Amino acid sequence: MNKAQIRINRAFTVSAIDPRLFGSFVEHMGRVVYTGIYEKDHPTADADGFRQDVLQLTREMGVTAVRYPGGNFVSGYSWTDGIGPREQRPKRRSLAWKSIETNEIGIDEFMVWARKAGVEPVLAVNLGTKGIEEAVNFLEYCNGEPGTLYSDLRAQNATPQPYGVRTWCLGNEMDGDWQIGHKTAGEYGRLAHETGKAMKIIDPSVQLVVCGSSLSTNATVGEWDRTVMRHCFGEADFISLHQYYGGQEKGTAAFLAQSLDLENYIRMAAHVCDVEGFMRRDPKKVMIALDEWGVWSTPASEVEAETRRERWQYAPRIGEQIYTMEDSLLFASMLLAMIRAADRVKLACQSLLTNVSACIMTEPGGGVWVQPIYYVFALAARLGGGVVLQEAAEEDTYAVETFSQVPYVDHVSVWDEAKGELSLLLVNRGESAAEVTYSLEGPEAAGVLESTVLTADDRKATNAEDHERIRPAHIDNVKIEGSRITCELLPLSFQMVRISLR
């Protein structure tokens, strides 16, 4: 049996968890918006055409923030297409996803949906085919007090009250040659600098996210981030990272080890920002936004084939991945990596909310069901606002081609002082049971408040046919002896344990 021995002390902390770490992402791609969050003729649709079954699941998932409207889509999008009377809005070709965009849903409708879902909006501006003027006009439309052109237009279309959107992404994946309007690091850095400068003149309270690297394997990773920071350090509140992992054909051990790459990626971005701050003698800390992340189990060639097959269609079925239990364990470890880095990762957006690489799956005119990754997210999201504790661990490891020491047990500890609770999130990467022992320095454990496991008898099992096949269950596998907590994890499982402390 693999083992992990972990020591924690409430006095030694990493950081409080920013609730926005449990964000998601809605892009005009495939069926994310149309027949995803919005379907005006659906039996559950409310007066605004939003599916109430999806709204309810979004709230239960614990989503705190949602990035919109893209994604690759935003680099060819004009936000003005999606305002005003719907019958007057243009239909456009979306160059990113080779589909027809009707613009039935735009910024005003999204803000209504966000309010109903109880999420904070995170908006992206187009720095691909557009630039400074488009961005500042969008900001004025959303946040300006009445009395000027675009704020008055918002009052005319939707509401006299400013939306007060605080977080804005300056473009999307501009380092990628797949992006409409792709730029070099210097070109993007200059444009983002000037755009951010203008936006903060209009609203000094906004927080700006500049584009870092869009994959840890990109040829320009690191150098791109350094160049962008040299231009944008003064305006940037966040640098974004995007990351998806696939590669199930490598085998379970190597597949699940990929979250260690994410840990290295986060450290790289933090170091790049801190070096720039040092060179400027500026104590400011630029935070990290993992505003697209997830497991991408479908080969890119397959998605491209789907896109060609559905070319210039409305709400085409593309990228509708079905997640296995195995996928869900890597998803969980990616989330744990972000929580462990809570001192720098202050915003994250799981990609995407509905239908495309999604937690929530819908059928047009029909039902809704959730993938196993939904439960991982929902359990972890309950920890928002807690404080991540430092851990000292002695643990069994294994080796794969890319990493020489991969812990069999992935783990993070979160303390909630207001509730007097210690929460443990655990992933067993191993194919046999694992024993985890926690030694608490300080107060003793009083009792187990919750012990919930997510696992399956087949690592390739999904919820596609039997929607209830993989779901959380209570498990009685935790023992407490004073300051010692012992838990025997099931093979290939994710578990959450909540402990009350004296």
| Residues labelled as active-site residues | 173, 292
Q: Is 218 within 8 Å of 155 (Cβ atoms)? A: no
Give per-residue burial for 101-128: e unless 16+ CB within 10 Å, then b. Answer: bbbbbbbbbbbbbbebbebbbbbbbbbb
- For residue 10, give the amino acid letter: R
d(CA 69, CA 126) in angstroms, rounded, equals: 10
**Cβ pair 392, 6 in contact under 8 A:** yes
C-alpha span between 444 and 3 (Å, rounded): 22
- Tally the residues of the chain: 502
Helical residues (DSSP H) of 310-444, grouped into ranges: 325-340, 372-381
| Count of C-beta atoms within a 10 Å radius of residue 280 | 13
Which 3-state string (H, E, C) describes 132-198?
A: HHHHHHHHHHHHCCCCCHHHHHHHHHCCCCCCCCCEEEECCCCCCCCCCCCCCHHHHHHHHHHHHHH
Place of tokens 């606002």: 385
Q: How far apart are CA 200 and CA 289, in angstroms?
A: 19
**Torsion angle of the four alpha carbons 299, 300, 306, 309, in this order, in degrees rounded to the nearest 10:** -130
Amino acid in position 337: A
Instruction: Look up residue 82 and give its amino acid.
Output: G
| Token couple for 464 | 């596609």
